[in-house]
């Protein structure tokens, strides 16, 4: 599909000629996001600067039945911004202002294209914490975080993005601008559309402005590391920690392969003979943090940890968190194609799930490394192969199919935080069942009668 010249001219009239591109070389960089393999070229890329422009573009698109794919930083890992049916990629990165930080109300108002870390820094400058902390925060946009309901490294104690969205300004595919929620913590007037839009992956509306909750900045943060002989031991330690009544901010794990890859990249002096590493951290008043980390350390030791150490200072603590954040790219250095998944199980079944993953990887003869958010039962099994080895890629996908099935069998899900996008749509029905799938489609149709907003993804 190519766009007719009249439509292109109309788009230019809305956002300005400089902010519409249609040439092959101009649209090529928007054919993909951070998801490997998936690629589809859009017909146009459009960069709006304000809500009204977004509304005008969507009205036009509905009228002409042209697909529109909203895009933030394009850092998602489920091909959610790949324009499977062509059309327009609508990039929100020009809308990048922090509109307001209100310490009195503990909230912030931002445009959707603000990078997550810019919001976090602006809040921190006023002594406030924006809690959602995805590994990609320097890149990802707040709009993208809300649209994917991004998780992060503090999810156990603080929850995920959903827990912080108070209100949105959203443009419906038909062009109406709606304001859901607002500056209120309590508001039950109507269906909770704020929550519905959160995690809607750009299929129900385009978010242009968000009101998010902030917290007082905790006085201190500290981090520690425990090494275990196996991931199963680490899993037991996680149960013991939470069983002891502690909900730490961070509880992350790396398996042996990940430890090796991260150490190779970051040279942090990680212990390479361990089978698993548990990274734990907490924030709050200093004495509470010290006490909690001490107790976590004890629980780890009792669960058979080989070694437990606490970060001696903030720099070291940051370095350890960075080590966790860079697990994926560090692994990618082992090959040329990095396939990553996001299966999630109830926390007590973490160790069992890890065993299943190992068994599946062996059976399909693919190398698989696993890291993830231990506290949330959220695993990222990762397979690094040669991108020209068709057979290996095929085997990896078969293996992931089995991983999803195993997760569902254990009362888990096919994706904990990365989303469905185009990548996991084929597996969605196995998780939701036919009735929910049908309901999703009816919801989608109510928002988007012409089916123009991010087609081929959720709700399709």
Partner 1 sequence: MTGPQQQHMATPPGRGIFDPALLDRCISCGFCLPACPTYAVSKNEASSPRGRITLMRALETGRLDEDDPRLREESSFCLGCRACEPVCPAGVQYGDLLEEWRDHQWRGRRRPPPAQALMMIAERTALLRMMGLVRRHARTAAPAQTSLMLGCFERGLFPGVSRAVRTLLPDIAVPPHQGCCGALHAHNGESEKGRELARTLGETLPGTIVTTAGGCAAHLAGVLGRDRVQELSEHLAKTGATPVGEVKIEGRRARVAIQDSCHLRNGLRVFAEPRALISAVADFVPVQGDDSCCGSAGTYSLLRPRDSKRILAPKLDAYEAAGVDYVVTVNPGCQRQLHGNLRRRGSAVHAVHLADLLAAAAGGRPLPRGRRWRVPQVRVNLRRRLRRRGASGGTAGWSA
Ligand X SMILES: Cc1cc2nc3c(=O)[nH]c(=O)nc-3n(C[C@H](O)[C@H](O)[C@H](O)COP(=O)(O)OP(=O)(O)OC[C@H]3O[C@@H](n4cnc5c(N)ncnc54)[C@H](O)[C@@H]3O)c2cc1C
The distance of closest approach from Cβ of residue 48 to partner 1 in the complex, given in angstroms and rounded to an integer, is 11
DSSP states of 48-104 as a string? Answer: --SHHHHHHHHHHHHHHT--EEEESSS--SS-TT--TT-SEEEE-TT---EEEEETT
- List the x/- string, 155-194, binding to ligand X by CB under 6 A: ----------------------------------------
**CA 152 remoteness from chain centre:** 7
Q: What are phi and psi of 273, to 5 degrees?
A: -90, 0
Q: Is 117 or 230 the residue whose CB approaches partner 1 more closely?
A: 117
Among 417, 447, 451, 455, binds ligand X (CB under 6 A): 417
Dihedral of the alpha carbons of 82, 85, 88, 92, in degrees to the nearest 10: -30
Nearest Cα residue to 453 out of 55, 62, 68: 68
The distance of closest approach from Cβ of residue 299 to partner 1 in the complex, given in angstroms and rounded to an integer, is 31
332 near ligand X, rule: CB under 6 A: no
47 near partner 1, rule: CB under 8 A: yes
- ∠ at Cα 338 (355, 459), nearest 5°? 85
**Contact by Cβ (8 Å): 151, 136:** no
SS3 166: strand
Q: Is 119 or 241 the residue whose CB approaches ligand X more closely?
A: 119
Among 83, 87, 115, 284, binds partner 1 (CB under 8 A): 115
Whole-number Å distance between alpha carbons of 228 and 338: 26
Q: Which does 72 bind (CB under 5 to 8 A by kind): ligand X, partner 1, none?
A: ligand X
SS3 207: strand
Site for ligand X in 258-297 (CB under 6 A): none
**Contact by Cβ (8 Å): 379, 372:** yes
Q: Which does 80 bind (CB under 5 to 8 A by kind): ligand X, partner 1, none?
A: ligand X
30 near partner 1, rule: CB under 8 A: yes
Contact footprint for partner 1 (CB under 8 A): 21, 23-26, 28-38, 47, 73-75, 84, 91, 93-94, 96, 115, 117, 136, 138-139, 265, 326, 328-330, 332-333, 336-338, 387-390, 393-394, 397, 422-423, 425-426, 456
Interface with ligand X by CB under 6 A: which residues? 33-34, 69-77, 80-81, 92, 112, 134-136, 140-141, 143-145, 147-148, 150-152, 201-202, 206-207, 328-329, 417-418, 454
């Amino acid at each position: 599909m190519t766009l007719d010249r009249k439509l292109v001219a109309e788009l230019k009239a809305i956002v300005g000629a400089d902010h519409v591109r249609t040439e092959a070389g101009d649209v090529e960089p928007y054919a993909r996001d951070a998801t490997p393999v998936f690629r589809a070229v859009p017909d146009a890329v459009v960069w709006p600067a304000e809500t009204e422009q977004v509304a005008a573009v969507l009205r036009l698109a509905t009228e002409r039945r042209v697909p529109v794919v909203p895009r933030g930083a394009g850092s998602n890992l489920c091909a959610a911004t790949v324009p499977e049916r062509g059309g327009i990629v609508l990039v929100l990165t020009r809308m990048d202002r922090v509109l307001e930080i209100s310490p009195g109300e503990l909230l912030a108002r931002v445009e959707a294209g603000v990078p997550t870390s810019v919001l976090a820094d602006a809040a921190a400058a006023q002594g406030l914490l924006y809690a959602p902390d995805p590994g990609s925060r320097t890149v990802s946009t707040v709009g993208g975080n809300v649209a994917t309901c991004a998780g992060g490294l503090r999810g156990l104690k603080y929850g995920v993005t959903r827990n912080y969205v108070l209100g949105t300004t959203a443009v419906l595919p038909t062009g109406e601008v709606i304001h859901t929620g607002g500056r209120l913590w309590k508001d039950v007037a109507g269906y909770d559309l704020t929550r519905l839009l959160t995690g809607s992956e750009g299929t129900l509306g385009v978010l242009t402005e968000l009101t998010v909750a902030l917290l007082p900045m905790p006085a201190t943060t500290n981090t520690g590391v425990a090494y275990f002989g196996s991931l199963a031991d680490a899993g037991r330690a996680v149960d013991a920690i939470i069983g002891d009544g502690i909900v730490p901010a961070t509880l992350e794990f790396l398996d042996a392969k990940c430890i090796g890859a991260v150490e190779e990249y970051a040279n942090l002096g990680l212990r390479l003979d361990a089978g698993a590493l548990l990274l734990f951290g907490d924030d709050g008043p200093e004495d509470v943090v010290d006490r909690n980390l001490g107790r976590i350390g004890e629980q780890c030791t009792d669960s058979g940890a080989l070694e437990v150490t606490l970060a001696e200072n903030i720099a070291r603590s940051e370095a350890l968190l960075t080590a966790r954040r860079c697990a994926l790219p560090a692994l990618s250095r082992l090959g040329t194609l990095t396939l990553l998944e996001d299966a999630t199980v109830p926390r007590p079944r973490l160790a069992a799930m890890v065993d299943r993953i190992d068994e599946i990887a062996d059976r399909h003869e693919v190398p698989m490394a696993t890291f993830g958010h231990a506290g949330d039962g959220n695993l990222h099994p990762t397979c690094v192969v040669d991108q020209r080895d068709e057979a290996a890629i095929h085997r990896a996908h078969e293996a992931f199919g089995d991983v999803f099935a195993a997760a569902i069998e254990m009362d888990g899900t096919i994706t904990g935080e990365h989303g469905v996008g185009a990548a996991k749509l084929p597996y969605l029905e196995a998780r939701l069942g036919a009735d929910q799938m049908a309901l999703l489609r009816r919801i989608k149709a109510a928002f988007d009668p012409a089916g123009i907003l991010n087609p081929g993804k959720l709700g399709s």
